[in-house]
Amino acid sequence: QGCDGDDPAAATDGTVPTIKIFGYLQTQYDYTFNDIHENTLTFKRARFGIRGKVKDDFSYYFMLEASPFIGGVGSTYLMDAFVSYEKYNWAKISVGTFKQPFSLEVNTPCNGLTTINRSIVADQLVAPQRDFGLIVLGGNKYTKFRYAVALMNGRGLNVVDNNSKKDIIGRASYKLFDFMSIGGSFRYGYPNNNDNTRTSYGGEMVLTLNNLKIQGEYIYDEGDYNRAAGGGCGSEPVELGNKRDGGYIMISYDTKWKVQPVFKYEYFDPNIDVKKIGYQEMMTIGANYFVNDKIRFQLNYQAHIETYINIDNDILLAQIQVKF
Amino acid sequence: QGCDGDDPAAATDGTVPTIKIFGYLQTQYDYTFNDIHENTLTFKRARFGIRGKVKDDFSYYFMLEASPFIGGVGSTYLMDAFVSYEKYNWAKISVGTFKQPFSLEVNTPCNGLTTINRSIVADQLVAPQRDFGLIVLGGNKYTKFRYAVALMNGRGLNVVDNNSKKDIIGRASYKLFDFMSIGGSFRYGYPNNNDNTRTSYGGEMVLTLNNLKIQGEYIYDEGDYNRAAGGGCGSEPVELGNKRDGGYIMISYDTKWKVQPVFKYEYFDPNIDVKKIGYQEMMTIGANYFVNDKIRFQLNYQAHIETYINIDNDILLAQIQVKF
Amino acid sequence: QGCDGDDPAAATDGTVPTIKIFGYLQTQYDYTFNDIHENTLTFKRARFGIRGKVKDDFSYYFMLEASPFIGGVGSTYLMDAFVSYEKYNWAKISVGTFKQPFSLEVNTPCNGLTTINRSIVADQLVAPQRDFGLIVLGGNKYTKFRYAVALMNGRGLNVVDNNSKKDIIGRASYKLFDFMSIGGSFRYGYPNNNDNTRTSYGGEMVLTLNNLKIQGEYIYDEGDYNRAAGGGCGSEPVELGNKRDGGYIMISYDTKWKVQPVFKYEYFDPNIDVKKIGYQEMMTIGANYFVNDKIRFQLNYQAHIETYINIDNDILLAQIQVKF
């Protein structure tokens, strides 16, 4: 009487190995340097999923977010779920929910970020970070050139599209030299209705000089936006003006003791035309310690810099991540 | 300190093979032929679960629905979960949550339906489609006769019963000839309280002539109903009169190219005494393409026919289903 | 484009065996002996999870509650999730969410309880039963002495801490003789703010005389409390006075027919200073039948005794538990 039909309960036919269970848990301690010394133990992300192949060229990906602090639903929900057709390396196709192919940092796996948080500009302007869509991807980490183009609802997860037009989002990157990659992103969409559009551009660059890595991005965004879509990864969305931009530069170094110090400078301007309100800069000083490829400790100190009215809001974040 | 006690973390004793992970994802594109050209990428169903045996005659089934568009909770919830005692093929017993044993189409696994949607009458009148209960089942797909009788709360999932009387629901089918099966369903219940009853009947017939399959059902239902229980599979429940009925006939053909064209005619009358309001007919023309037994493409065109006031609400549905 | 990076979909490198899927389902029938004969089929707990090792001394535990009747969110949520460092048997460390180390009964795995419900005092006063924290544990079931000390938010699951001070909770037990263990618990916390504290003590004793087991606990609690944290395991929290206490004694016997009769007497006083209101006693008579270590039937009759105004609220509970 269940949905799985009349099959025998136990699989003994060798089909199980094509199912891979995966996930990771990010347990975090946040301390804010303000008057009331806000501090809490919390989860950042708590994800698990199932993936596998069902045929030579067809695979599936099914992942849930169980952290109560991301997504606004307070309980476990389906985050990334898609079917892929991967016959052609230069035109892999996926349909379902996944991240918008915009920005290097947004498209870095959430368990592989060098700082605990993404940059403010990525969380605020590449929103919704996840959405329903159809994506075509080409290349992989071994190719010099990579690209991705997606048609997406533009409304985010857990809702259907409320307008009849789809958003188009794309990103391409190219390895100019062994030590240098550059890339760009583009988005043209309809956040709320069929009339008001949103246009976004992004540029990115990565330099890898032996153990030193320097990564930078710039994002420019204008037009309508959907406040209900929230910020990326549970961040509080801020009010945006008609034009907004931001960027970051991040420097990290792999030492031989499995420790990776990192420094990040970033800024975000939610309204380019009105400089005085909302403009913020932030410096992050941190270190990652990799016990092995499954366990990572992260420590980040975020120095928030408000240009006009200073607020006591520097934050210390400590995270343990375990992958399975 | 977890609920799993002091056991070692890794199972090395050969017990794992009795656990089977299963599930399926239905990614869908809906286009409505109306003025505003509503269209969206969405999920129909997104389910995964665990099942297995814990002893020769005891098995369990534990399945969650992760699609945000079914069940009204917006996040992942427990759909079918039951323990079964299967010693006697003519009296298998299950306790937990499962589908009501009413109607052939409702009891067809959701990943094995010939059209993307069930018939309107099945979604509107066999509601709640899932419920807490105790069921006794006899026979299987190899026997001529099959039956199922269940005692159920009558209130659906995620709630406890609000009345002290239980509902009784049953279904039986018989293979008259190799090419012909007939069956019937029955329900007598208390949707809202101990006084107002609901009585339902259903009849079904399946003809299989080589590659041609003709399937039809008729459902009649009268008395009280629980609007809060929702329609089947996330469909919007409509207002019902005291007596209502509906039926469908569906013709499909298995071609040798793994393509299965299908035609379905159906009607639904939410209030038999008042013909003019709510009565609807629908024709579905579609085709299924089976890449293999794990991947299926479905395309359905639904021509909605309103008898009195015509509405532009024909719908095109395209679905990719992957099973794992 | 998913979070799991560019890895191939199927794991073929022998890492899968370190993942263990586990869980259990408790299907229950509740009947209340009152005027309206309330009765319902329901779930008590419905949990599943993943656990394993990622390195010799590091393990993880990731468990979700899918029962809609626990936790107040109505859908599946992350219950216990933590990373553990287990190099030193006398100082194992875990960080994440888990049960407060207070009271023997609270720390008995939920699938190993002798009566269907925990004692009222444990559900009402050891609340929130689960919370974010860091815990240090020593000893195991083979050692005479065991202890656990935790620093916790004090606010429960699904929320961040709203005050800057952490709660400290601890429990220790010692096996005085082969047939006798004693133990004690302690909690000092800040349920709602940085000013109002809560102090709790608990004492416990277990006698094991051949097949006879006698277990008793007493809990005393005073000061502030957080009503929003709810009672343990979905129980309705009651209003508490400034001082409150309760206790139970439970006697069970393992017969040779896999049947275990149990008797429990308990009382709970939500306000010691005002004896007339809220004070309750309860006797539970029951039996457990273990088909094997995976399947258990439980039958409990709860005789509720109100000292001042008697209410018809005796309850019969019947449960089937399947573990996987």
Ranges A195-199, C4-8, C171-175: which has the least confidence = C4-8
Confidence category of residue C15, pLDDT binned at 50, 70, 90: very low
Identity of residue C78:
L
Which helix (H) or strand (E) element contains residue C175?
Answer: strand C167-177
Nearest chain C Cα distance for residue A253, angstroms: 22
Disruptive mutation site among C57, C78, C324 for chain B (greatest number of B CBs within 10 Å): C324
Token digits of residue C229: 């944290």
Confidence category of residue A227, pLDDT binned at 50, 70, 90: confident
Among the partner residues B20, B37, B46, nearest to A81 by beta-carbon distance = B46
- Is the confidence at residue B293, as pLDDT, over 70? yes
Among the partner residues A2, A96, A134, nearest to B80 by beta-carbon distance = A2
> Looking at residues B258-276, what average pLDDT do you find?
94
- The Cα angle at residue B157 between residues B192 and B266, in degrees rounded to 5: 80
Tens digits of residue pLDDT in A233-287? 778 889 999 999 999 999 999 999 999 999 999 999 999 999 777 899 999 999 9
Cα A95 from Cα A135, distance rounded (Å): 7
Among the partner residues C73, C81, C164, nearest to A25 by beta-carbon distance = C81
Ranges A144-153, B17-26, B202-211, C115-124: which has the least confidence = B17-26
**With 0-12 CB in 10 A as exposed, 13-18 as middle and 19+ as buried, what is C296?**
buried
- Is the confidence at residue B265, as pLDDT, over 70? yes
Provide the pLDDT for residue B120: 96
Residue B129 forms part of a structural domain: yes
CB contact A161 to B (< 8 Å): yes
Identity of residue A240:
L
Tens digits of residue pLDDT in B218-229? 999 999 999 887
Tens digits of residue pLDDT in B91-145? 999 999 999 999 999 999 999 999 999 999 999 999 899 999 999 999 988 999 9
Q: A40: which chain C residues are within 8 Å (Cβ-Cβ)?
A: 132, 153, 160-161
Q: Please give the share of chain B, as a percent, with pLDDT higher than 70.
A: 94
Residues A66, C77: C-beta atoms closer than 8 Å: yes
Confidence category of residue C133, pLDDT binned at 50, 70, 90: very high
Residues C9, A59: C-beta atoms closer than 8 Å: yes
CB contact B52 to A (< 8 Å): yes
> Looking at residues C36-63, what average pLDDT do you find?
95
> Looking at residues A148-171, what average pLDDT do you find?
95
CB contact B95 to A (< 8 Å): no
CB contact C52 to A (< 8 Å): yes
Provide the pLDDT for residue A11: 39
Residue A183 forms part of a structural domain: yes
> Looking at residues C247-269, what average pLDDT do you find?
97
Domain range for B236: 16-323
- Is the confidence at residue B16, as pLDDT, over 70? no
CB contact B172 to C (< 8 Å): no
Q: A289: which chain C residues are within 8 Å (Cβ-Cβ)?
A: none
Alpha-helix runs per DSSP H in chain B: 120-125
Among the partner residues A22, A49, A320, nearest to C95 by beta-carbon distance = A320
- Is the confidence at residue B59, as pLDDT, over 70? yes
Tens digits of residue pLDDT in C74-116? 789 999 999 999 999 999 999 999 999 999 999 999 999 999 9
Instruction: Tell me which chains share at least 3 CB pairs under 8 Å with chain A.
Output: B, C
Radius of gyration of chain C (CA): 20
CB contact C19 to A (< 8 Å): yes
CB contact C310 to A (< 8 Å): no
Ranges B3-17, B195-209, C249-263: which has the least confidence = B3-17
> Looking at residues A312-321, what average pLDDT do you find?
95
Residues A67, C78: C-beta atoms closer than 8 Å: yes
Ranges A151-165, B1-15, C27-41, C210-224: which has the least confidence = B1-15
- Tell me the average pLDDT of chain C: 92
Disruptive mutation site among C16, C19, C27, C126 for chain B (greatest number of B CBs within 10 Å): C27
Residues A164, B48: C-beta atoms closer than 8 Å: no
CATH of the domain at A116: 2.40.160.10
CB contact B27 to A (< 8 Å): yes
Nearest chain B Cα distance for residue C199, angstroms: 22
- Is the confidence at residue B324, as pLDDT, over 80? yes
Confidence category of residue B10, pLDDT binned at 50, 70, 90: very low
Comparing CA positions, the residue from A70, A50, A61 lying closest to residue A158 is: A70
- Is the confidence at residue A102, as pLDDT, over 70? yes
Residues C16, A18: C-beta atoms closer than 8 Å: no
Cα B84 from Cα B136, distance rounded (Å): 10
- The Cα angle at residue C237 between residues C231 and C240, in degrees rounded to 5: 120
**Residue C57 contacts residue C79 (beta carbons within 8 Å):** no
| DSSP state, residue A115 | S
Q: B158: which chain C residues are within 8 Å (Cβ-Cβ)?
A: 68, 74-75
Provide the pLDDT for residue B9: 41
Confidence category of residue C287, pLDDT binned at 50, 70, 90: very high
φ, ψ for residue A124, nearest 5 deg:
-85, -35
Comparing CA positions, the residue from A43, B6, A42, B9 lying closest to residue C107 is: B6
Instruction: Tell me which chains share at least 3 CB pairs under 8 Å with chain C.
Output: A, B
Residue B6 forms part of a structural domain: no
- Tell me the average pLDDT of chain A: 92
Confidence category of residue B232, pLDDT binned at 50, 70, 90: confident
Radius of gyration of chain B (CA): 20
Residue C228 forms part of a structural domain: yes
> Looking at residues C216-242, what average pLDDT do you find?
89
Confidence category of residue B1, pLDDT binned at 50, 70, 90: low
- Long-range Cβ pairs for the range A175-181 (8 Å, 24+): A175/A144, A175/A145, A178/A208, A179/A207, A179/A208, A179/A209, A180/A205, A180/A206, A180/A207, A180/A208, A181/A205, A181/A206
Provide the pLDDT for residue C190: 96
CB contact A91 to B (< 8 Å): no
CB contact A107 to C (< 8 Å): yes
Residue A57 forms part of a structural domain: yes
- Is the confidence at residue C293, as pLDDT, over 70? yes
Among the partner residues B40, B67, B76, nearest to A161 by beta-carbon distance = B40
Ranges B16-30, B33-47, B48-62: which has the least confidence = B16-30
Nearest chain B Cα distance for residue C271, angstroms: 30
- Is the confidence at residue A6, as pLDDT, over 70? no
Among B2-11, B63-72, B133-142, the range with the most confident prediction by mean pLDDT is B133-142
Residue A7 forms part of a structural domain: no
Confidence category of residue B15, pLDDT binned at 50, 70, 90: very low
Distances in Å between the alpha carbon of B213 and those of A61, B180, B264, C155?
34, 10, 12, 59
- Is the confidence at residue B317, as pLDDT, over 60? yes
CB contact B76 to C (< 8 Å): yes
Residues C4, A322: C-beta atoms closer than 8 Å: no
Residue C34 forms part of a structural domain: yes
Residues A25, C153: C-beta atoms closer than 8 Å: no
- Is the confidence at residue C232, as pLDDT, over 80? no
CB contact A324 to C (< 8 Å): yes
Cα A112 from Cα C23, distance rounded (Å): 30
Tell me the count of A-B CB pairs closer than 8 A. Answer: 154
Comparing CA positions, the residue from A33, A29, A31 lying closest to residue A311 is: A33
Provide the pLDDT for residue B236: 85
Residues A20, C2: C-beta atoms closer than 8 Å: no
Provide the pLDDT for residue A1: 64
β partners of residue C215? C206, C250
Q: Please give the share of chain A, as a percent, with pLDDT higher than 90.
A: 82
Disruptive mutation site among C16, C22, C50, C315 for chain B (greatest number of B CBs within 10 Å): C22
CB contact A116 to B (< 8 Å): no
Among the partner residues A4, A62, A157, nearest to B25 by beta-carbon distance = A62
- Is the confidence at residue A109, as pLDDT, over 50? yes
Token digits of residue B103: 């109607």
Tens digits of residue pLDDT in B139-165? 988 999 999 999 999 999 989 999 999
Contacts of C265 (CB under 8 A, 6+ apart): C248, C249, C250, C281, C282, C283
Q: How many domains, chain B?
A: 1
